[in-house]
Structure 1
Amino acid sequence: MEEILNYIKINELISTSGQPSPEQFETIAQNDFEVVINLALHNASNAIENEDKIVTDLKMAYFHIPVDFENPKPSDVKLFLNTLQALGANKVWVHCALNYRVTAFMYVYHKYILNTPFNEINISMFDQWSPDSKWQEIMKIDFEEIKKA
């Protein structure tokens, strides 16, 4: 799993990464993941054509929540949080192009859904990526604002 771009294991049910290759999706499926959530746009520079077919042919469910990297919205966060919560005890792989969108959204998930203490949240991706003001706003968003989105 570690060979997958910017791989992070969140817990036993959730792992995240940048864009996996078709072969890496096979590895993901072999590791008992049941669901893939893609937050990248379909035209991201490293997007895979027919990713939905590749994933579903491997007997995993596929959700695409396209998030514009230049313009993330509270409604994107709300849809992601609702989707992740609805999946319950399913084993989920969440990815985007480089694991930047996912890292920001997982931060919000930890903060408001899991109530993880800040010092226990894996923020290793911030060594590679410094979120601009739009992404900082998303990460600092109040939970009530997310619910209204």
Structure 2
Amino acid sequence: MDNDMPSRRAFMAAVLIPLGAYAQASPRLPNEVQVSPLLVTSGQPPARALAALGEAGFQAVIYLAPSTVPDAVADEHAILQKQGIEFVHVPIPFGSPEEKHYLEVAGALTRLAGKKVLVHCQVNMRASTMMFLYRVIALHEPPERAYEAVARIWSPRGPWRELMVSQLRKHGVAFEPY
């Protein structure tokens, strides 16, 4: 990921654009956190919100919950496909997130650099945590700043906190999530 400098530079430029430059209104998304004009995390959007993502300029959606969760939108992929929005599904069991899940999410985010992306799950716990790790590990953002988006949603515990701490340590980042 760090070796792909052109994509990383484009993504960093997008992340550093002031939030006021976010011109197109986003559909109402549950637990929405706007990371940058091109990156948004949220809980599970209802079908009507998914159908409005194209009008709001979204070009890709990364879905992090298994499709078997009770509030999953069964035809999410088809709703997005009709709008020309790329759909990436990385089903992460809530009770057992692993490094491989982070690596898959990070790979997708790196590949989608420069596009407007929604990363969502059920509540925005998986999404906010994976986005935090990506911002800190791949984009080298200060963890204190990146963690603010997580803290708006939750305080990771159990396997999610363990994943965060292990990945941060592996990459030499000194930060204790609170």
Structure-1-length-normalised TM-score: 0.88
Counterpart contact for 2:128–2:149, Cα < 8 Å: no
Of the two, which has the highest radius of gyration?
2
> Deviation of residue 44 (structure 1)?
1.1
> Deviation of residue 16 (structure 1)?
0.8
The aligned length equals: 146
Query: Structure 2 CA distance, aligned partners of 1:78 and 1:20?
Result: 24
Higher relative contact order (CA 8 A, sep 6+): 1
User: Runs of 5+ in structure 2 lacking a partner?
Assistant: 1-25, 172-178
> Deviation of residue 124 (structure 1)?
4.5
Counterpart contact for 1:96–1:102, Cα < 8 Å: yes
Counterpart contact for 1:111–1:118, Cα < 8 Å: yes
Tell me the equivalent position of 2:127. Answer: 102
Identity %: 26
> Which of 77, 80, 86 is 1:55 aligned to?
80
Tell me the equivalent position of 2:98. Answer: 73
Counterpart contact for 1:34–1:90, Cα < 8 Å: yes
Following TM superposition, the consecutive aligned residue runs of length 4 or more in structure 1 with deviations greater than 6 angstroms are none
Counterpart contact for 1:32–1:91, Cα < 8 Å: yes
Query: Structure 1 CA distance, aligned partners of 2:52 and 2:34?
Result: 14
Q: Deviations for 1:37-83, whole angstroms, at most 9, x for unmatched residues? A: 10011011210111111111121011111000011111000111011
Is 1:7 aligned to 2:32, yes or no? yes
Query: Structure 1 CA distance, aligned partners of 2:92 and 2:101?
Result: 7
SS at structure 1 position matched to 2:61? strand
Tell me the equivalent position of 2:118. Answer: 93
Counterpart residue type for residue 139 of structure 2: L
